[in-house]
């Protein structure tokens, strides 16, 4: 039971939420056991009200810390978003069966 | 046509530089360059390659070439072993050269 | 874990290549293997000796080469994408009768079969694009 | 190991950038390596398949002709979202190649069942 619901697909998004099609297409493909990782420009989506749509997806939400810092967003990241470093990025891609990049 | 003149029409892998310059006599000269004799069976394959390109804007790799042969000439000739026996090089490549078509992409 | 990377980005827009490079360094430092880095699409335009990087900016192509030298990376550039964008090795230069080859030494031109092989030979395929 | 399947996603309209051509080339190459390939046309990607495109008016090759070759490469797992068709006021008969119309739940399953995904 558990193995069926954990660590399936890691969805990596790298664009801001202005690319709304990208986000809606990604959301349509989510299943329990998936996770979302925000990198590059997508880390803005982890801030303020924007994060609501992502949190509604009820999957773990990660964001790349180096990109958060680069954009001056350290204080703005929502508390439910897990900030990770590059090493954890690599570990996540190992834990999840596969990744899909949305760009 | 002299050998040098013929070679000047080809790239260094033997494919025609100007696809529109192809003709049956030219195909025969290209085969002669390889000391290769084109028979009726070879012409069937060359024709298939040309039709395939006209339909799909793409030179066929092995699998689709076999399929196209089977569709037109039946299961006996729609086999890779049949094509392998017919040609000395990779069948899709050699047939595309004589057919005056571009080199098939990603051909093994 | 064996990784392969597919890079599909332009060096002049976005940071996909930087992210891929950092990912590679991190993966290698954790003891993972990188089977191949496959450069495809617009990415290949910048793998040229004719490119001049301003002195106060980082040349990411050089950084790939440094990583390749220290960790034996297989850097493959899609031949169809490269030739179409005017990035030629000596063989393609001769074949098409052009004045000079400009592919950066250390990168190899090859076909999409190398990507297919990377898919079959790796535990994970990561795409970095923009 | 060798039986990994690959899902390729088309998300761009015709004549936009080279991603459609590039993705199609990956499909053809992987089929030569006996990798089972499925194609998903998502969002604007479905516009690529509209029947009757006359690319010659733009002096371009018609990618649709090459899409038609997929069956010859034994690539016959093609998927389109029913909701995308509706959004563009299209019906299945408007598409020049046979695709399976699926709902969003089926699409999520398709992604889950795929071992590798390339989404250019």
Domain residue spans of chain C: 2-128
For residue D100, give both structure tokens: 């399976």
Residue B108 has pLDDT above 70, yes or no: no
> What are phi and psi for residue A14, nearest 5 degrees?
-130, 10
C-chain CB neighbours of D26 within 8 Å are 112, 115-116
- Please state at what angle helix B91-98 crosses helix B40-56, rounded to 10 degrees: 90
- Please state at what angle helix C16-29 crosses helix A86-95, rounded to 10 degrees: 80
Report pLDDT for B106. 63
Rounded CA separation A60/B74 (Å): 55
What does D103-114 look like in DSSP terms, one character per residue? -HHHHHHHHHH-
Q: Token match 């790796």: residue?
A: C122
Rounded CA separation B22/B96 (Å): 11
C98 near B CB under 8 A? no
* pLDDT tens across the length of chain D (120 residues): 557 999 999 999 998 889 999 999 999 999 989 999 999 999 999 999 999 988 888 888 888 889 999 999 999 999 999 999 999 999 999 999 999 999 999 999 999 999 999 999
For residue C23, give both structure tokens: 């990912």
Cβ-Cβ contacts under 8 Å for C105 (sequence gap 6 or more): none
**Number of domains comprising chain D:** 1
- For chain A, which residues score pLDDT lower than 70? 1-6
Q: Token match 């026996």: residue?
A: B85
For residue B43, give both structure tokens: 């012409």
Using the beta-carbon criterion (under 8 Å), do C22 and A86 form an inter-chain contact? yes
Rounded CA separation A72/A82 (Å): 16
B-chain CB neighbours of C116 within 8 Å are 106
Is D31 a member of any domain?
Answer: yes
Is D1 a member of any domain?
Answer: no
Report pLDDT for B107. 55
Burial D6-18 (b: 16+ CB within 10 A, else e): bbbbbbbebeeeb
Using the beta-carbon criterion (under 8 Å), do C95 and B11 form an inter-chain contact? yes
Q: What number is the average pLDDT over the span B27-46?
A: 95
SS3 labels along A7-61: CCEEEEECCCCCCHHHHHHHHHCCCCCCEEEECHHHHHHHEHHHHHHHHCCCCCE
C-chain CB neighbours of A8 within 8 Å are none
A-chain CB neighbours of D11 within 8 Å are 21, 25
Q: Token match 């810390």: residue?
A: A65
What is the bridge-based pairing of β-strands D37-41 and D6-10? parallel
C115 near D CB under 8 A? yes
Rounded CA separation B16/B14 (Å): 7
Contact between D92 and D83 (Cβ < 8 Å)? no
Q: How many CB atoms lie within 10 A of CB D91?
A: 9
Among chain C residues, the shortest Cα distance to B108 is held by: C113
Among candidates A66, A34, A36, which has minimal Cα distance to A51? A36
Report pLDDT for D54. 86
For residue A103, how far is the Cα from the chain centroid? 13
| Residue numbers of the domain that contains D14 | 6-118
Rounded CA separation D71/D73 (Å): 5
C82 near D CB under 8 A? no
For residue C30, give both structure tokens: 């954790």
A9 near D CB under 8 A? yes
Choice between D58 and C5, residue whose per-residue pLDDT is larger = C5
Is D30 a member of any domain?
Answer: yes
Using the beta-carbon criterion (under 8 Å), do D120 and C125 form an inter-chain contact? no
C-alpha angle D107/D112/D114, rounded to 5°? 95
C2 near D CB under 8 A? no
For residue B93, give both structure tokens: 């490549």
- Here the CATH number for the domain that contains residue D35 is 3.40.1260.10
Using the beta-carbon criterion (under 8 Å), do D33 and C116 form an inter-chain contact? yes
In the annotation, is B107 catalytic? yes
Q: What is the fold of C2-128?
A: Hypothetical Protein Ychn; Chain: A, (3.40.1260)
When pLDDT is cut at 50, 70 and 90, the band that residue C15 belongs to is: very high
> B interface mutation test: which of C92, C111, C119 has the most B CBs within 10 A?
C111
The helix or strand, by DSSP H or E, that contains position A62, with its residue range, turns out to be strand A61-64
Predicted confidence (pLDDT) per residue in C35-70, tens digit: 999 999 999 999 999 999 999 999 999 999 999 999
Rounded CA separation D29/C76 (Å): 15
Rounded CA separation C122/D119 (Å): 18
**For residue C118, is it left (φ>0), alpha (ψ between -120 and 50) or beta?**
alpha
Coil vs helix vs strand at D31? helix
D-chain CB neighbours of B55 within 8 Å are 65, 68-69
A58 near C CB under 8 A? no
C95 near B CB under 8 A? yes
Select from D43, D109, D111 the Cβ nearest to the Cβ of A100.
Answer: D111
Alpha helices in C89-130 (DSSP H): 90-95, 113-121
Q: What do you get for the CA distance between the two ends of chain C, in Å?
A: 26
Residues 87-126 of chain C with CB under 8 A from chain A are 124-126
Task: For chain D, give the longest Cα–Cα distance.
Answer: 46
Interchain contact A/B (3 or more Cβ pairs less than 8 Å): no
Is D104 a member of any domain?
Answer: yes
Supply the ipTM of this predicted assembly: 0.92
């Amino acid at each position: 039971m558990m193995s069926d619901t954990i660590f399936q697909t890691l969805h990596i998004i790298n664009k801001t939420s202005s690319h709304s099609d990208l986000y809606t297409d990604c959301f349509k493909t989510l299943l329990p056991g998936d996770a979302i990782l925000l990198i590059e420009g997508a880390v803005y989506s982890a801030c303020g009200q924007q994060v609501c749509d992502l949190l509604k997806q009820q999957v773990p939400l990660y964001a790349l810390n180096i990109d958060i810092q680069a954009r001056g967003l350290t204080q703005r990241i929502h508390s439910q978003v897990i900030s990770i470093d590059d090493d954890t990025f690599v570990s996540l891609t190992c834990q999840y069966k596969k990744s899909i990049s949305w760009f | 046509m002299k050998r040098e003149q013929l070679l000047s029409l080809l790239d260094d892998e033997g494919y025609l530089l100007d696809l529109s310059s192809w003709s049956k006599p030219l195909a025969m000269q290209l085969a002669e360059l390889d000391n290769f004799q084109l028979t009726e069976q070879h012409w069937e394959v060359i024709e298939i390659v040309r039709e395939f390109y006209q339909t799909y804007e793409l030179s066929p790799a092995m699998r689709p070439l076999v399929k196209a042969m089977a569709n037109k000439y039946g299961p006996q000739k729609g086999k890779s072993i049949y094509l392998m026996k017919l040609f000395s090089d990779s069948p899709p490549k050699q047939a595309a050269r004589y057919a005056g078509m571009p080199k098939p992409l990603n051909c093994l | 874990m064996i990784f392969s990377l597919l890079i599909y980005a332009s060096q002049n827009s976005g940071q996909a290549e930087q992210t891929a490079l950092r990912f590679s360094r991190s993966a290698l430092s954790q003891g993972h293997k990188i089977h191949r880095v496959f450069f495809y699409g617009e990415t290949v335009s910048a793998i040229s000796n004719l490119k001049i990087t301003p002195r106060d900016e980082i040349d990411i192509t050089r950084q790939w080469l440094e990583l390749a030298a220290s960790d034996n990376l297989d850097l493959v550039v899609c031949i169809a994408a490269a030739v179409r964008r005017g990035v030629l090795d000596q063989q393609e230069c001769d074949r098409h009768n052009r004045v000079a080859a400009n592919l950066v030494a250390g990168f190899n031109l090859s076909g999409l079969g190398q990507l297919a092989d990377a898919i079959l030979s790796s535990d994970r395929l990561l795409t970095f694009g923009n | 190991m060798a039986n990994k399947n690959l899902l390729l996603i088309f998300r761009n309209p015709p004549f936009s950038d080279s991603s459609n051509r590039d993705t199609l080339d990956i499909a053809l190459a992987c089929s030569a390596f006996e990798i089972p390939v499925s194609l998903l046309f998502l969002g604007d990607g479905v516009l690529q398949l509209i029947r009757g495109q006359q690319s010659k008016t733009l002096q371009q090759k018609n990618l649709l002709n090459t899409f038609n070759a997929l069956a010859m490469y034994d690539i016959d797992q093609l998927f389109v979202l029913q909701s995308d068709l509706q959004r563009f006021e299209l019906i299945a008969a408007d598409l020049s190649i046979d695709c399976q119309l699926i709902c969003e739940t089926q699409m999520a399953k398709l992604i889950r069942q795929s071992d590798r995904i390339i989404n250019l």
